[in-house]
Structure 1
Amino acid sequence: MARFSLISLLLAIIAAPLAAQVAVPGVAVPRVGEVLGQVGELAGNTLDRTAQDARELARNRVQRIDRLVRSNRATIERDARGAPARRGELLLVDAQTDALLAASRAGFGIIETIELEELGMRVTRLRIPSGRDLDEAEKDLADLVPDAIFAPDNLHFLAGDAVPLGLMSAASSGAGASVAVGMIDGAPGKSVRVAAIRGFAEGAPYPSNHGSAVASLLASEHAGPIRVADVYGTDKAGGNALAIARGLGWLVGEGSRVVTISLVGPRNPLLERAIASARRRGVIVVAAVGNDGPAAPPAYPASYEGVVAVTAVDGKRRALIEAGRALHLDYAAPGADIRAIDAKGKRIRVRGTSFAAPLVAARLARALHSGDNWRSALDREAEDLGSKGADPVFGRGLLCGSCTGR
């Protein structure tokens, strides 16, 4: 039985070179509503401070994940890579009858089979055998059905912080267009008007500060319809891969041409296939790179092929010290010194790559509506920062540089 030591994980992070992507699995923050942390006041960006802060962010990340798992043992456990996932379940993708029979004979129970018709996929939830941990069950299933595609139901977490400022109206000033944009997050509150909300988790839809902030920023730059898939609700294991895939399928079926996701997690075969399927149907997915710093593992879904990966800058156009990394980087947008709306309709300060992603999504929707090649249109707008040309800090440049939010 595999055991994961917090001390050994921390030592692995501390020992790794700063420029490397540390091979420690996991994700950004415990759950919806919790404050990301202790990075909002960081200002300097010198090399020494960057290295120190990056290592501290990596330590904090591992500690948060450890607390999350220990506090929710009834619903969450670690998978074979040490990443948090829904306890006691594995997900089989497009499973053949012989694979299901083999799994059943080995003690795996079929909970349900879900048809994601909009994505052309079928997902079977398997209950792992009694007495087996998730990491053990993954190895067992790989031996039983080596050709099958399966995944833990990994959790994905929010990538932003918010501080109340006061009350304001949520009326949209969007300069966007009629292209429909989908959002996968928590649900916005009533003060942020959207075209539709649908829940894909226990207790969903349930208003969240993060979902409200992301939706309000999207609405501030986009006048077209916005649909929200709430993948958190009140579920302690919310934000899981299956919920995100189901939400994505709904948004695709409703006609969203752009989908923005301000969540991060580990690479997951189910979600990777779902996003690839959406892309084949002409949907463009935009995702934040997360706030665990440059020493964190690559962020997903931002790192999946073809996803538009977004980082963030502050009001002085400096890269956020806590910004994570993806396997590729497309654009930067404001993610600090901007304002949004929380679940109660209050103005809040926000900070994090979460809040840059919807601004890029709005710009992309505008380009699609105009009939332009969206990549060419965004590249023309992008302001080159840092090294000349595309670089690993700002990507292809800064979009929406004058955007300040609501």
Structure 2
Amino acid sequence: MSKPRLLFTATLFAALSAGSAMAQLLPSVGQTLGGIGGRLPVLGPVLGGPQGQPPVTSATPGVIRTLDTLSIPNVASLDPMTLLDIRRLRLSELVRHNRQTLDRDGEGNPVRRGELVAVDADDGAIAAARAAGFAVLRDARSGELGLRMTIFSTPRGGSARDALKGLRRAAPGIEADYNHLFEPAGGALAPAAGVALAGGSADGARIAMIDGAVASHPSLAAAQIEQKGFAGIPAPTGHGTAVASLLVGNQGAFRGAARGASLLVADVYGGDRAAGSADAVVRALSWVVSKRPQVINISLVGPDNRLLAAAIAAVRRRGIAVVAAVGNDGPAAPPQYPASYPGVIAVTGVDAGDRALVEAGKAMHLDFAAPGADLAAALPGHGYAKVRGTSFAAPLVAARLAMAGSLDRLASEALPGKGRIGRGIVCRTCRIDPRLVGAK
């Protein structure tokens, strides 16, 4: 690591570690809306500036201060390795502040502590695992996905890595993995305390999203939205609300890309940043598949996971399109999933100049781009914010795919742009200029 980058990352770590406010990964909506435009009041410098740039402090306009994302005025000056350093720091801090519930896999990715998942384990494998000290927490079959999901609790003591090796030794051939966490691909999770859920039943043409829950907002007042929680009671979030508004919002100058469609919302967080586990995402997929949506949007990212891979393959076999964001940790970061799975429509973002976002991740494949910067999205309760990230490009592609009716028709709409944008830019005119809606 170069000295300037080392200083930058060390300054960030020190600032985040110094106070309880910055250690809090789930600030209330009264404090901040994090990655969708809010500010968290802190003392002193928050981020050290890149080489040649002044430090970014709590007084710097436009700074986003959560561990969910990095978005600073001069983000384009950050090199890929610095983005990678920040990714490592973000994940490390998430685990550090949730030690009772989280651990790490061999690559440093957050996983649920004391839990392993298995796909289609037979009774013999489960019996062998029990004999080796692994208890069964949950064992369920999804008729919608056509798979069996078994969640094991691990013997006490030892790391998640040791536990997985032990399970595979006890039951050779078992398709077992960690219970990885998946995080929002741009923008803070930020639960919206005191704000009601967006309501209504979903009928007609359907789009599904797996995310945090969606808060009430005037742009969603007439939308048909059905929500269900898979990590406890649904808890409205800034990230989920922003994504939903880009899909079906409609208020004055603000117009979502699939107005009139019904929206299914599967909340895999329940307001807890240490949630979003692979098994929650798979249970969410089972539910939304039962509702027969045309498209499922997943603006979440995480590592390759055997359980999630099997579930995504099952969804695709049922003819349901899956659209996913490639993430915002830069091209040096590992490929993110589910965007990198075969058959998933991987989406990156572009700015108002049709340039690929410098912080966009590099997936195993890339299909389309859509506006992912210089656009507005709804804030929980009321108002709008400027947003940035591939999280917000993905729902625009999902919306256009649902409206177009086929991938070929969607591809025919794609326009040229600059940088790595796959087959082109979709929904280019869907960008809502933040000035039109007074976005903060």
Q: TM-score scaled to structure 1, two decimals?
A: 0.82
TM-superposed deviation, 1:124: 1.2
- The two structures, once aligned, show a CA RMSD in angstroms of 2.5
TM-superposed deviation, 1:376: 1.7
1:124 aligns with 2:150: yes
- Is the Cα contact below 8 Å between 2:324 and 2:339 reproduced in 1? yes
> What amino acid does structure 2 have at the position aligned with 1:160?
G
**How many corresponding residue pairs?**
354
> What amino acid does structure 2 have at the position aligned with 1:232?
Y
> What amino acid does structure 2 have at the position aligned with 1:251?
V
User: After superposition, where does 1:322-333 map in structure 2 within 5 Å?
Assistant: 322-333=359-370
TM-superposed deviation, 1:79: 1.8
Match of 1:384 in 2: 416
Partner secondary structure for residue 429 of structure 2: coil
User: After superposition, where does 1:207-356 map in structure 2 within 5 Å?
Assistant: 207-219=236-248, 220-222=256-258, 223-356=260-393
Distance 2:155 2:234 in 1: 32
Q: 1:59 to 1:147 in 2, by over 3 A?
A: same
- Is the Cα contact below 8 Å between 2:118 and 2:175 reproduced in 1? yes
Match of 1:184 in 2: 210
Distance 1:386 1:339 in 2: 22
Distance 1:145 1:201 in 2: 29
Match of 1:404 in 2: 431
- Is the Cα contact below 8 Å between 2:92 and 2:108 reproduced in 1? no
> What amino acid does structure 1 have at the position aligned with 2:229?
G
TM-superposed deviation, 1:229: 0.2
TM-superposed deviation, 1:112: 1.8
Match of 1:22 in 2: none
Between 205-214 and 88-97, the greater mean CA deviation after superposition: 88-97
User: After superposition, where does 1:84-103 map in structure 2 within 5 Å?
Assistant: 84-103=110-129
- Is the Cα contact below 8 Å between 2:26 and 2:272 reproduced in 1? no
Distance 1:375 1:234 in 2: 34
Between 216-225 and 378-387, the greater mean CA deviation after superposition: 378-387
1:101-141 deviations in Å (ceiling 9; x for gaps): 11011000111212222111111111101123211011111
- Is the Cα contact below 8 Å between 1:80 and 1:136 reproduced in 2? no
> What amino acid does structure 1 have at the position aligned with 2:117?
L
Distance 1:208 1:43 in 2: 24
> What amino acid does structure 1 have at the position aligned with 2:372?
G
1:286-344 deviations in Å (ceiling 9; x for gaps): 00000001110001000001000000001111111111110000000001111110222
TM-superposed deviation, 1:375: 2.2
TM-superposed deviation, 1:157: 0.6
1:395 aligns with 2:431: no
Partner secondary structure for residue 274 of structure 2: coil
> What amino acid does structure 1 have at the position aligned with 2:148?
R
- Is the Cα contact below 8 Å between 1:39 and 1:322 reproduced in 2? no
Distance 1:361 1:31 in 2: 27
> What amino acid does structure 2 have at the position aligned with 1:377?
R
Distance 1:146 1:346 in 2: 55
RCO higher in 1 or 2 (8 Å CA, sep ≥ 6)?
Answer: 1
Partner secondary structure for residue 221 of structure 1: coil
Correspondent of 1:200 among 211, 224, 230: 230
TM-superposed deviation, 1:69: 0.9
TM-superposed deviation, 1:31: 6.8
1:168-207 deviations in Å (ceiling 9; x for gaps): xxx9xxxxx95311000001101234420000003x3100
Identity %: 46
Distance 1:178 1:313 in 2: 31
Match of 1:67 in 2: 93
Unaligned 5+ segments in structure 2 are: 10-24, 28-32, 35-65, 189-197, 249-255
Partner secondary structure for residue 118 of structure 1: coil
- Is the Cα contact below 8 Å between 2:207 and 2:263 reproduced in 1? yes
Match of 2:73 in 1: 41
Distance 1:123 1:161 in 2: 30
Distance 1:122 1:243 in 2: 14
Partner secondary structure for residue 360 of structure 2: coil
Partner secondary structure for residue 323 of structure 2: strand
1:29-56 deviations in Å (ceiling 9; x for gaps): x679653444342365xxxx4xx52111
Unaligned 5+ segments in structure 1 are: 1-5, 15-29, 163-170, 172-176, 369-373, 388-392
- Is the Cα contact below 8 Å between 1:194 and 1:228 reproduced in 2? no
Distance 1:37 1:43 in 2: 11
Distance 1:31 1:114 in 2: 31
> What amino acid does structure 2 have at the position aligned with 1:208?
T
Between 112-121 and 260-269, the greater mean CA deviation after superposition: 112-121
Distance 2:91 2:274 in 1: 13
Distance 1:303 1:206 in 2: 28
Distance 1:38 1:60 in 2: 8
Q: 1:107 to 1:212 in 2, by over 3 A?
A: same
Between 290-299 and 184-193, the greater mean CA deviation after superposition: 184-193
1:194-251 deviations in Å (ceiling 9; x for gaps): 420000003x310000000000001111121110000011334311111111111101
Distance 1:299 1:314 in 2: 21
Distance 2:87 2:241 in 1: 24
Partner secondary structure for residue 339 of structure 1: strand
Distance 2:69 2:145 in 1: 35
